[in-house]
């Protein structure tokens, strides 16, 4: 049995062919349980019914897209700390920023490769990021690096003094 055998993944994509491809990838790496939904609204219903460990969601879906789903998870769900991996065929900087600002944990560009997806899953399991609550944002810390010795002008006044 794979180390991922106990993981329950929620896969959300409005394209049934893409769901089938990603589901096959997840099963091939040993994911134990998989629940599928066609859009963010169906995914939120699944979250209320089942204990989900990781959500993998498409960016663009109707009527509720992946960004709106992520915001709903972070602000009004049974598990606001749920790791959310966003998939998209449009990986422009503005999309990545929008997803990050909604509280997405990791990001993967389509066409999705099994190795890339597995690395994102490993990242949320083995290297979880701390969560931050700030005005207008709740989600994983958006800073990828922790520069402890930085004393520049953007350091917050309530940050501990380094040195």
DSSP string covering 142-158: S-----TT--STTS-TT
Per-residue pLDDT, 153: 54
The pLDDT tens digits of the residues spanning 49-61 come to 999 999 999 999 9
Task: Give residue 159's pLDDT band: very low, low, confident or very high (50, 70, 90).
Answer: low
Q: What is the DSSP letter of 161?
A: P
Show me where the domains of the chain are located. Answer: 8-140
Calculate what percentage of the chain has a pLDDT beyond 70.
87
CATH of 8-140, one of 3.40.50.300, 3.40.50.2300, 3.40.50.10490, 1.20.140.10: 3.40.50.2300
Task: Give residue 161's pLDDT band: very low, low, confident or very high (50, 70, 90).
Answer: low
Residues 6+ apart with CB under 8 A from 50: 8, 10, 35
Per-residue pLDDT, 94: 85
The pLDDT tens digits of the residues spanning 89-145 come to 877 888 888 989 999 999 999 899 999 999 999 999 999 999 998 888 899 987 755
Q: Which two tokens stand for residue 109?
A: 């560009």
pTM recorded for the entire structure: 0.85
Q: Measure the CA–CA gap between 114 and 38, rounded to whole angstroms.
A: 21
Burial of 48 (0-12, 13-18, 19+ CB in 10 A): exposed
């Amino acid at each position: 049995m794979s180390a991922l055998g106990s993981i329950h993944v929620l896969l959300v994509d409005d394209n049934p062919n893409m769901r089938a491809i990603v589901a096959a990838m997840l099963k091939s790496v040993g994911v134990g349980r998989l629940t599928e939904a066609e859009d963010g609204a169906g995914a939120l219903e699944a979250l209320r019914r089942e204990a989900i460990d990781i959500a993998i969601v498409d960016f663009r879906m109707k009527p509720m897209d992946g960004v709106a789903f992520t915001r709903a998870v972070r602000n009004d769900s049974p598990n606001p700390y749920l790791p959310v991996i966003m998939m998209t065929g449009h990986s422009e900087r503005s999309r990545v920023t929008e997803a990050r600002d909604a509280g997405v944990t990791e990001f993967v560009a389509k066409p999705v490769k099994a190795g890339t997806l597995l690395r994102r899953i490993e990242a949320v399991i083995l290297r979880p990021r701390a969560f931050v609550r700030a005005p207008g944002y709740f989600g994983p810390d958006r800073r990828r690096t922790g520069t402890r010795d930085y004393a520049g002008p953007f350091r917050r006044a309530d940050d501990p003094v380094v040195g």
